[in-house]
Structure 1
Amino acid sequence: MFRVARNLIQQQVKSEKAVVRCLQTSTTSTAQAAVKEKPKAKASQGENYSFVMNLFKGQIEARQVFPYPNVLNEEQRETLEMLVDPTQKFFAEVNDPMKNEALERVEENTLAGLWDLGAFSLQVPQELGGLGLTNTQYARLVEIVGGNDLGVGITLGAHQSIGFKGILLYGTPEQKEKYLPRVSSGTFAAFCLTEPSSGSDAGSIKTRAVLSPDGKHFILNGSKIWISNGGMAEVMTVFAQTPVQDPKTGKTVDKVTAFIVERSFGGVTNGPPEKKMGIKCSNTAEVYYENVPIPIENVLGGVGNGFKVAMNILNNGRFGMAAALSGTMKTCIKKCIDFANQRKQFGQIITNFGSVQEKIARMAMVHYVAESMAYMISGNMDSGSEHYHLEAAISKCFASEAAWYVCDEAIQIMGGMGFMKDTGLEKILRDLRIFRIFEGTNDILRLFVALTGIQHAGAHLKELQNAFKNPTAHLGLIFEEASKRVVRSVGLGSPPSMEPHVHGDLIQPASELARSIDSFGQSIEIVLIKYGKSIVNEQFILNRIASAVFDIYASAVVLSRASAALREGGETAQHQKLMAEVWTLEAAQRISSNLKTIGSGKNLDNFTKMSSIAKNICKAEGIVQLNPLKL
């Protein structure tokens, strides 16, 4: 199937390159981890085209959001059509999710079939044994997998989305020629970063690699935990501390380096498969490294550049999670609708009741947002964008939370039937729980989005501050900013316009969104002035900033997609318009509430009280108050 299709695919996938810079600041480990993921645009790129990044300056950078991406050419579309049917057929007829779960591994026949389909090498170039798919084509196939078996999806994703992704992104020609054909034809790969003492704070890893006396190998020692495919991977992307000489000071310091490690090097072992709440068929194991000799040519991305490599691997693959979970949500919605359309209570089919209708509508809307984000970001990437990292982080957070919500509501609509194992929803709910944790916890990614955007806005204010040092040379910038502030202060300002970007039928919700963007930019400016660099410690505030950003980006994405549908005049255009209108109105209300919260003295005082409550409980090592009976 796919192997026949491979010969017909001609397009080449552009490699995504991004540079990550670590902010130097002293704060908590979670804030440090969030800041460390900050992507830095290359100097040669000039202006940053990220929609989300520019929100923090109260500006609309529309180029990556409007119009909604349509990146597949005719040949790519034909290729994708040729791949969709066999993928759906395979998961309908061959893969058995319940059997995989009972075995706590992917059944051998299924694994063999997936290798034969080429499903483990979707984005490997054709000349190196893969299908050479674009990100958008990849998203569509991953969506099918996510709609059928998330455990299999993790097995596939751990292999290619992160396992050997570093070789695709950073590998030398020699590394690619050596390893990519192998991982495309039966050799499993894994991404080995997490350790017992380092979860979100990736920079604190203890695994070390030291150059051998003859200078030909790095000797690796340490261990990794919770490694997907860890018990069966023969090729691993491993991250370890290495001694590096600081060119400025001449001192030797530890920096993380990425390595391509083969189990055949010797000294690589693993523990038994972990017992997990969900995704039970995916192999998760601890991996140990004892005096593993790694040839120096297996350094990936340069000595000391491992943090950048790790973060960009994760950033590059996050859109795929949104695509997969979009498929999961479709399955949950279909299951509960099939039930609800037949279920009668009090003499009526339950879909006639307003409370059930609201559940269905909200499930459909969050699915629409997540799906729209996935294909928006894949389209941006396929168009050559390097400014998508914040958007990808948002898509991962949003989709993982939306999928949990949709599955939970589907169970609620089905009542007792939804709670039964045979319905399949209880398995999906258990499988979904990990998605808010791995590949960057949602808590850390929220801080990452907020802190990265705030630093971008802070740089703009610093530029203005510097302009006042030489006002004659920077009169334009000074007068532009001064006029904005004066107009705002007397209430005559108008928000940035979104009318040119949306269909005429969506001007009202677009105007509402524009006002939210303007308010958001002003709120960020106030926060920067009030807190300065200490904002990194204000996580109560940062979380609400992130929530507002999520709602703004989600609204822009659905307005873009619905506008495209209205212009095309498809049969679902009016349905998409309804979802965009409802979503944008409610999102604007949430944005307003969050922005008021971060500036309200009463709420700030409440944050202090919540901090005290948490400290009291931690000190007591549990609930503080006695039982009402005092017994």
Structure 2
Amino acid sequence: MMSTVSKAFVTGPKNYNKFINITSRYYGAQAAAKVQKKESKETNKKETKSFVMNIFRGQVQTDQVFPFPSPLSQDQLDTLKMLVDPVDKFFTEVNDPVKNDDTSDIEEKVKQGLWELGAFSMQVPEEFGGLNCNNTQYGRLVEVVGKHDLGVGIMLGSHQSIGFKGILLVGTPEQKAKYLPRVSNGEYAAFALTEPSCGSDAGAVKSRAIKSADGTHYILNGSKIWISNGGIADIFTVFAQVPMKDPETGEIKDKVTAFIVERGFGGLTNGPPERKMGIKCSNTAEVYFDNVKIPAENVLGGEGQGFKVAMNILNNGRFGMAGALSGTMIACAKKAVEHATTRVQFGKTINEFGGVQEKIARMAMLQYVTQSLMYMISGNMDSGSQDYHLEAAISKVFASESAWWVCDESIQILGGMGFMKDTGVERVMRDLRIFRIFEGTNDILRLFVALTGIQYAGSHLKELQKAFKNPAANLGLIFGEAAKRATKAVGLSTPPNFSHLVHPNLAESAGLVGKSVENYGQTIEAVLIKYGKGIVEEQFILNRLAQAAIDTYTSVVVLSRASRAANLNLPTAEHEILMAQAWCQEAASRTAYNLKVAKSEKYTDLFKKYKKISQNVCENGGINPADTPLGF
């Protein structure tokens, strides 16, 4: 047994450092992996509390999922209640989403009203003129905005969720004192990262900032595209390459650095507003930098730390997207249900038909999961967690895809009415499409989840490889792993169990999730042994692993929330338990399938067919319209 186990680990990744270097080529699984490379040793020593990270090792870490967070004090709850109603009333009575969409603009009275409500400075401390909301309060308010107008929501989010968020997170006391009062009192902010040659590949940034000889300032040149608030912002968080001397080699290398840039510095201009499919009323424009002089004290987060700053900002704000889209789903489902319960066909209202019932049930579940993700992650963040990056990425992917599905099926239930502009759902559909693209495309975020988790699992593999080099000093570790694998091989092992943490009515569902986690760890080990460092190129497999992670994490989140409802005897408890049970049953089936696909030779052959079909089409320049049975 010893030799078999030893051989299994030795045939894993041959050089873990090379493995990490390759993962650094991907952003999200690119820039994020590059940043996390430096942090991985520390992370592996302390053992992360991230639920998602741990399932890559087949382990259940429940610290951040049970019990369901309740991070608000009574004072914070009371404050939030006082804010929610005025914001909801404002969007109902003052803002006009149809007019915003038609004119591709937001009326000045709406903007001014939002400034007066404090909607642009929800998380800014009171001393700087903000509402001092924590993440949970912010998420609830964003949910209200998402229910009414995603275009306005983008203007608000681009300003505070990413625009000046870096100043809040890593700004110096002087930077906070100078800029936070301004972004809380009428000056718009924007986040400027994307360039023509740099979308998901943040390493391809071409904008450059050259430091002056006396070190007092930088001269910035370059351009950015698709910048939300780009045409109206006064204060920008800008990312540019800065030539820096490598302390080890003495070579001059470009490193991305973040800057706080004011329009008033001069040399900063923008193009006309972009014409977009949706979120038309939000300003999106190209931004140009022509010899912009930036004071040295406006470096944000340290010279050469731009990747880290960007990832910190994006990771910190992603949960808000789940909040906004939870609100959107509530609004779409409401219109569908109102129609389904009044529309009579074949002698009964259409909500009595099974096909419609399945749609409505799934709408409810997807909204419940999305909202639960937002409160779980924001609650963890408010409790001081630093291990939420994969969970936040999952919340963005899940929310954006679920909201699209809910909106689409709402239109289906509404029938022809849903296709008409006056019903309002077609506008929501156009607004929703961008959410799967910006702030990290869902495709890249799936790679981020899969590769970051595999990196964590691979470090464990590396630890065992080292142990076999000096077995006398590591017998406990070696025999422990050998025993684990022996019991798995003969079917004696038991899946990770957290049934004691859920309500008794959810114990069976918890068992399904435990089985998924066990299967997940075994699958990761199998693909690491099979592919080694080459796993980073196996995107067909990585996507299935990511989807299995999404299904497993969302399952444990709803189990936690539904258990809370049942334990507190909330009026919604029975309904929440039903949704959690149904979700876990479906998710476990999808997970079992995706993990089977990830390690099956049969599906590896199928992936090769996909690859070849794609190559044929690309070589042809597209699908040939003449390829018909008629031959022309």
Normalised by the shorter chain, which TM-score bucket?
over 0.9
In structure 1, C-alpha distance between the alignment counterparts of 2:148 and 2:563, rounded to whole Å: 30
Cα offset for 1:28? 6.4
Task: Give the AA of the match of 2:288.
Answer: Y
1:33, 1:200 within 8 Å by CA — same for their partners in 2?
no
Residues 446/279 of structure 1: CA separation in 2 closer, same or farther (3 Å cut): same
Match of 2:529 in 1: 529
2:139, 2:374 within 8 Å by CA — same for their partners in 1?
yes
Cα offset for 1:335? 0.8
In structure 2, C-alpha distance between the alignment counterparts of 1:518 and 1:308, rounded to whole Å: 33
Residues 41/157 of structure 1: CA separation in 2 closer, same or farther (3 Å cut): farther
In structure 1, C-alpha distance between the alignment counterparts of 2:504 and 2:147, rounded to whole Å: 35
% identical aligned pairs:
65
Question: Is residue 2:328 matched to residue 1:331?
Answer: no
In structure 2, C-alpha distance between the alignment counterparts of 1:594 and 1:320, rounded to whole Å: 28
Structure 1: state its 5+ residue gaps: 1-21
Q: What's the secondary structure of 1:227's corresponding residue? A: strand
1:41, 1:387 within 8 Å by CA — same for their partners in 2?
no
Cα offset for 1:43? 3.1
Cα offset for 1:46? 1.7
Match of 2:103 in 1: 103
Match of 2:369 in 1: 369
Q: What's the secondary structure of 2:293's corresponding residue? A: strand
Question: Is residue 2:631 matched to residue 1:630?
Answer: yes
Question: Is residue 2:176 matched to residue 1:176?
Answer: yes
Task: Give the AA of the match of 1:630.
Answer: G
Match of 1:4 in 2: none
Residues 42/185 of structure 1: CA separation in 2 closer, same or farther (3 Å cut): farther
Cα offset for 1:38? 4.4
1:37, 1:448 within 8 Å by CA — same for their partners in 2?
no
1:207-264 superposed Cα distances (whole Å, 9 cap, x missing partner): 0000123321100000000000000100000000000111111111000000000000
Cα offset for 1:26? 7.6
Cα offset for 1:482? 0.9
Match of 2:232 in 1: 232
Cα offset for 1:473? 2.2
Question: Is residue 2:550 matched to residue 1:553?
Answer: no
2:56, 2:456 within 8 Å by CA — same for their partners in 1?
yes
Q: What's the secondary structure of 1:468's corresponding residue? A: helix
1:34, 1:451 within 8 Å by CA — same for their partners in 2?
no
In structure 1, C-alpha distance between the alignment counterparts of 2:337 and 2:250, rounded to whole Å: 66
1:456-514 superposed Cα distances (whole Å, 9 cap, x missing partner): 00001111111122222222211211110000001111111111211111100100110
Q: What's the secondary structure of 1:294's corresponding residue? A: strand
Q: What's the secondary structure of 1:433's corresponding residue? A: helix
1:525-574 superposed Cα distances (whole Å, 9 cap, x missing partner): 00011111111100000000001000000100000000111100111101
1:39-68 superposed Cα distances (whole Å, 9 cap, x missing partner): 846838822100000000000000000110
Match of 2:3 in 1: none
Match of 2:461 in 1: 461
Question: Is residue 2:25 matched to residue 1:24?
Answer: no
In structure 1, C-alpha distance between the alignment counterparts of 2:567 and 2:250, rounded to whole Å: 61
Comparing 597-606 with 162-171, greater Cα deviation is found at 597-606
In structure 2, C-alpha distance between the alignment counterparts of 1:42 and 1:271, rounded to whole Å: 44
Cα offset for 1:105? 1.3
1:210, 1:243 within 8 Å by CA — same for their partners in 2?
yes
In structure 1, C-alpha distance between the alignment counterparts of 2:343 and 2:604, rounded to whole Å: 47
Q: What's the secondary structure of 1:256's corresponding residue? A: strand
Match of 2:86 in 1: 86
Residues 278/544 of structure 1: CA separation in 2 closer, same or farther (3 Å cut): same
Question: Is residue 2:603 matched to residue 1:603?
Answer: yes
Task: Give the AA of the match of 1:521.
Answer: G
CA-based RMSD: 1.4
1:92-131 superposed Cα distances (whole Å, 9 cap, x missing partner): 1111101111221111110000000000000001101111
Structure 2: state its 5+ residue gaps: 1-18
Cα offset for 1:134? 0.5
In structure 1, C-alpha distance between the alignment counterparts of 2:41 and 2:279, rounded to whole Å: 38
Match of 1:201 in 2: 201
Task: Give the AA of the match of 2:617.
Answer: I
Q: What's the secondary structure of 1:24's corresponding residue? A: helix
In structure 2, C-alpha distance between the alignment counterparts of 1:358 and 1:511, rounded to whole Å: 25
In structure 2, C-alpha distance between the alignment counterparts of 1:404 and 1:545, rounded to whole Å: 22
Question: Is residue 2:398 matched to residue 1:401?
Answer: no
2:381, 2:388 within 8 Å by CA — same for their partners in 1?
yes
Q: How does 1:52-451 map to 2 (within 5 A)?
A: 52-451=52-451
In structure 1, C-alpha distance between the alignment counterparts of 2:210 and 2:243, rounded to whole Å: 7
Q: TM-score, normalised by structure 2?
A: 0.95
In structure 1, C-alpha distance between the alignment counterparts of 2:295 and 2:31, rounded to whole Å: 30
Cα offset for 1:426? 0.2
Task: Give the AA of the match of 1:24.
Answer: N
Q: TM-score, normalised by structure 1?
A: 0.95
Cα offset for 1:576? 0.5
In structure 1, C-alpha distance between the alignment counterparts of 2:232 and 2:81, rounded to whole Å: 32
Task: Give the AA of the match of 2:128.
Answer: L
In structure 2, C-alpha distance between the alignment counterparts of 1:419 and 1:102, rounded to whole Å: 17
In structure 2, C-alpha distance between the alignment counterparts of 1:27 and 1:170, rounded to whole Å: 23
In structure 2, C-alpha distance between the alignment counterparts of 1:595 and 1:26, rounded to whole Å: 21
1:447, 1:543 within 8 Å by CA — same for their partners in 2?
yes
1:245, 1:253 within 8 Å by CA — same for their partners in 2?
yes
Cα offset for 1:430? 0.1
Match of 2:5 in 1: none
In structure 2, C-alpha distance between the alignment counterparts of 1:42 and 1:151, rounded to whole Å: 42
- How many residue pairs get aligned? The number is 610
1:258, 1:309 within 8 Å by CA — same for their partners in 2?
yes
Task: Give the AA of the match of 1:626.
Answer: D
Residues 536/97 of structure 1: CA separation in 2 closer, same or farther (3 Å cut): same
In structure 2, C-alpha distance between the alignment counterparts of 1:411 and 1:158, rounded to whole Å: 28
2:122, 2:138 within 8 Å by CA — same for their partners in 1?
yes
Comparing 342-351 with 472-481, greater Cα deviation is found at 472-481
1:170-197 superposed Cα distances (whole Å, 9 cap, x missing partner): 1000000000000000000000000000
Task: Give the AA of the match of 1:591.
Answer: T
Cα offset for 1:627? 1.9
2:23, 2:451 within 8 Å by CA — same for their partners in 1?
no
